[in-house]
Amino acid sequence: MTMINATETVAFLDLAAMHTPLRDELTAAWNQVLTSSAFVGGEAVAEFEKQWTDYCGTAHCVGVANGTDSLELILTALGLGPGDEVIVPANTFVATAEAVVRVGATPVFVDVDPDTLLITPEYLWSAISARTRAVIVVHLYGQVAEMDLIMAAAEAAGIHVVEDAAQAHGATYNGIRAGAFGVAGSFSFYPGKNLGALGDAGAVVTNDPVLAGQVRSLANHGRGSHLLHTAVGRNSRLDGLQAAMLRIKLGHLDGWNRHRRAVHRVYMDAFAGTDVKTLATLDGGEPVHHLEVIRVPDRDRLIAGLTERGVETGIHYAHPCHKQPGFSRFDRHRLPVAETAADHQLSLPMHPALDLRQAEAVAELVLELL
Ligand SMILES: Cc1ncc(COP(=O)(O)O)c(C=O)c1O
């Protein structure tokens, strides 16, 4: 049996351990940007956009300032605003819903599947009204939602599918990467993401050249050309320094995701046949395990026990979006699965530098504390 010794801490996420082996490469790329002075836009941004487009299997990529702006820019470019409804799963980070409200549209929250905690084609279908213009499908925790049926339902209803892939860099469903299914995919490169910058960053991917051009213009003060502002835009551009860091880290993404899968297998093997409820994987899905979410009867007691033994945990999320005070005016229905999950879910340590024996020890400790 592997033990966590008294002085050891098991980090929820260890960015320093991921960056230390890359320090020389990152520093050299940083120095190169410093020499070129291309701090906003420039060669590193253009090169990263090309690489990310190729990686996702889409035709276009526009680097932006973060993964909330990327959603908002997509919705704006699609012409969404007051009077329009956008369907959003209640179990997501609040940024998904924030973007809808920021453009003046109304988020319509729907429940999630009890096994995957993702939006389903059925919940999407049940929420479509005459005002629905789009759904934001969130590939939460690193798993891609059931995109074949979701795309079919959205097509039948004549609404846009926007993908929030902030937690799903490299995840696939039937061999297609997150972000490449809908009219556009939105990514966050917040440092803790599977592909993270050394600060805030984000991107929009799409196969639609017109949409890509609109997003690029909106994110750059509505520019049609340097001196001509054809729309009222904003400033949400990707920094050259962040793009240079992302280029280097992208080379490691597949390896990191493979390690996350190995960690996930350790947890799954340990929890099989126990009271710990793990996330189910859809047939055809290849998740990237951004978070290792489990559900247990007494979440708070387990967190206290783990914390006492030096194991860091997180909660994603403690309140579904419709129960967040800032969004209470959009709280229309009971959403029992999301509401129950919020009371029971916790996230265990999961990162590419996590030793498999440590994951084994964490799992053993979870079972002991239960
Ligand atoms: C599902 C989801 N959507 C959107 C975002 C927003 O990304 P950012 O923090 O880069 O604005 C995040 C980031 O935490 C996220 O997890």
pLDDT at position 8 is 79
Residue ranges lining ligand 1, Cβ < 6 Å: 66-68, 92-93, 95-96, 138, 164, 166-167, 188, 190, 200, 202
DSSP 3-state of 225: strand
pLDDT at position 369 is 97
Domain spanning 19-247 has what CATH number?
3.40.640.10
Q: How many CB atoms lie within 10 A of CB 339?
A: 16
Domain spanning 252-369 has what CATH number?
3.90.1150.10
- For residue 188, give the ligand 1 atom closest to its CA: 10
DSSP 3-state of 122: helix
Of 198, 201, 253, nearest in space to 30 by CA: 198
Pocket test for ligand 1, best of 72, 88, 93, 119 (most atoms within 8 A of CB): 93
Measured distance CA(107)–CA(101) in Å, rounded: 7
* Residue in the block written with tokens 């892939």: 165
- For residue 202, give the ligand 1 atom closest to its CA: 10
pLDDT at position 4 is 65
Whether the Cβ atoms of residue 222 and residue 238 lie closer than 8 Å to each other: no
Domain boundaries of the chain, sorted by first residue: 19-247, 252-369
Query: Average pLDDT of the chain?
Result: 97
Whether the Cβ atoms of residue 233 and residue 323 lie closer than 8 Å to each other: no
Whether the Cβ atoms of residue 88 and residue 136 lie closer than 8 Å to each other: yes
Is the alpha carbon torsion for 300, 301, 307, 311 positive or negative?
negative
- The low-confidence residues of the chain, meaning pLDDT below 70, are 1-7
Residue nearest atom 7 in ligand 1 by C-alpha distance: 67
